Structure 1
Amino acid sequence: MKTIFKILGIIILLIIVYAVIAMLAFSKDYHFEKSVVINAPKEKVWQYVGSTKAFNAWNPFAKADKNIQITYSGTSGQIGDSYHWKGNDQVGEGEQTVIGVIPNERITSKLHFISPWEGEAKASFILAPESNGTKVTWTMDNELTPMMKMMKPMMNGQMDKMFGQGLDNLKKMIE
């Protein structure tokens, strides 16, 4: 019994040490990006990333809840183009609003997460010619709270999975 308490004590101590190191060592600025090359001209790719409605046709986050409620507003593909989503606990609730557009090159959005946690982030799709196709880079930037800093390694894994799934969906739709 003494050995079990000793092991539990060591595990708890390691968790505390990791938490302190994560809060002190990890930057509050978080950037994640993932890219894919699609065998199509950027004008064709733009049709699938250049508006919130086009994005939601392949968005893996929205597809995580088949009963998600999405409400669109603004002019599609223009600054102010936006949508509000409300879904299950996995999807949560939030809003995404286009804040910058360079047609066939870049679209940037502001994300406002309402639940399960309050937060904001910026996301972009950047298109660049590569070989006979288009390189699509999906980025997200936000500021991490101290608690989120501790979860950064798990966040990276989840973001890699979801961005990869989304870019694969996009590639399949276009090619």
Structure 2
Amino acid sequence: MKFLKVSLLIVVIAIVGLLVYGLFIPTDLRVVEKISINKPIAEVYDFTKLLKNQSLYSKWQLMDPQMEHYFEGEDGTVGFVSGWKSENPDVGSGEQEIIAIMDGQRIDYELRFFEPFESKSQAFMVFTSTAPDQTEVTWGFDSEMAYPMNLMIPMMDMQVALSDDFSVGLANLKAFLEKN
């Protein structure tokens, strides 16, 4: 019986310690990755502004070729929604909406995740011409994870995982555009 009480006390102390730790962890998560693509900015931008094209380079889309998709509106314009549903728990379900466009320069998105958990985040792509036939693409993600959900940031190493996912997507984008 004493062993059970000590074990329970250790578990309670660990949980309380974890919750206290969460009070000191930032609630914001920002990931930004860049790549240089050997194509003119107009070509890179015109391809990338179409959310349907993400199936050709996005790591998440490539993780489940069988996922269901739905689209609402005119692709490449403000208000266009691209939705997905996957049985793969690493992909889940949600939708992405174009919320702002600076033609040839920047696209802003709202990401709405439904599964495996509900959340909203902001994402963006910025396009910068670095030479006549070279474009730097910046892909970023901003999210707010309220306490105690912010504990997931370090526990799941979300910063590194998302950074890796964006890097893979950008490398896929570069390979696809430079090949075609």
Which TM-score band applies after superposition, normalised by the shorter structure? 0.7 to 0.9
| RMSD, aligned α-carbons | 2.5
Distance, in Å, in 2 between the alignment partners of 1:28 and 1:83 is 27
The residue aligned with 1:3 is none
Contact kept, 8 Å, 1:48 with 1:170, in 2: the verdict is: no
SS in 2 for 1:43: helix
Contact kept, 8 Å, 1:48 with 1:55, in 2: the verdict is: no
Q: How does 1:152-163 map to 2 (within 5 A)?
A: 152-153=153-154, 154-163=157-166
Shift of residue 12, structure 1, vs aligned partner: 8.8
The residue aligned with 1:59 is 58
The residue aligned with 1:121 is 121
Aligned length: 171
The residue aligned with 1:172 is 175
Q: How does 1:1-175 map to 2 (within 5 A)?
A: 17=17, 19-21=19-21, 23-88=22-87, 89-131=89-131, 133-153=134-154, 154-175=157-178
Q: Give structure 2 stretches of 5+ with no counterpart.
A: 1-5
> What per-residue deviation string (whole Å, max 9, x for no partner) do you get for residues 37-79 of structure 1?
1111111111331121122321111111121001111111100
Contact kept, 8 Å, 1:106 with 1:127, in 2: the verdict is: yes
SS in 1 for 2:20: helix
> What per-residue deviation string (whole Å, max 9, x for no partner) do you get for residues 9-40 of structure 1?
9899677645522x222222221111111111
SS in 1 for 2:39: coil
Q: Give structure 1 stretches of 5+ with no counterpart.
A: 1-5
Distance, in Å, in 2 between the alignment partners of 1:103 and 1:58 is 21
Distance, in Å, in 1 between the alignment partners of 2:166 and 2:138 is 10
Distance, in Å, in 2 between the alignment partners of 1:58 and 1:12 is 45
Distance, in Å, in 2 between the alignment partners of 1:174 and 1:11 is 53
